[in-house]
Amino acid sequence: MANQRTVTAPPGGQSIAFSRELEATAERVFAAHTDVATLARWTGPRGTTVEVRAFDARTGGLWSYVVRGTDGVGWAFFGSFHEVTAPHRLVQTFEFEGDPGHPTFETLTFTDLPGGRCRVDGLSLFGTVAERDAMLTGMDSGMDENYDRLEELLAGSG
């Protein structure tokens, strides 16, 4: 069943783990994370646009984009790809340009499930417990919205 997900953040820890099931193969879901045109269609809150400044989805590549609201205000993010192993593993850093010096190290794995479905397992490691706890505020709804948008896109309605 789609939309099955879990989020785990051990008290006092520096990590957040999540798992989300989608109605698409691991190959399609992985491609949606590494193809810049597709990524721009499902990243960010509904009603925003993504302006890509750089995107080289290969081991050692860099990425940077701005999520812009309808009011023109933008939030810039950047990072580097540490491992891109299609279609099963993606390791990258993620950093908010407005608060530099606090990168998150993220690992995503993509596993095929019966019936043409996929499970995405993610682990985000933060520099401090405080940084991790700050991310927890609003993370659930934002992550759910992004993955809902991705599922709509993969189903052909997004």
pLDDT of residue 31: 98
SS3 97: coil
- What's the pTM value of the predicted model, to 2 decimals? 0.92
Q: What CATH number does the domain located at 5-155 have?
A: 3.30.530.20
| Backbone φ, ψ for residue 26 (5° rounding) | -60, -40
Please answer whether residues 76 and 65 qualify as being in contact, where contact means their C-beta atoms are separated by less than 8 angstroms. Answer: yes
CA distance 128 to 20: 25
Residue type, 82: H
- Count H helices and E strands in the chain, helices first: 4, 8
* Other CB atoms within 10 Å distance of the CB of residue 53: 12
Helix 26-34 and helix 139-155, axial crossing angle in degrees, nearest 10? 110
In this prediction, residue 131 carries a pLDDT of 92
- Check residue 139 and give its pLDDT: 61
Which pLDDT does position 77 carry in this prediction?
96
Q: Residue 151 gets which letter from DSSP?
A: H
3-state secondary structure 3-70: CCEEEECCCCCCEEEEEEEECCCHHHHHHHHHCHHHHHHHCCCCCCEEEEEEECCCCCCEEEEEEECC
Note the pLDDT of residue 140. Answer: 57
Q: What is the pLDDT of residue 45?
A: 92
Mean pLDDT by 10 residues, the chain (158 residues): 75 95 97 97 94 98 97 96 98 95 97 97 96 78 86 85
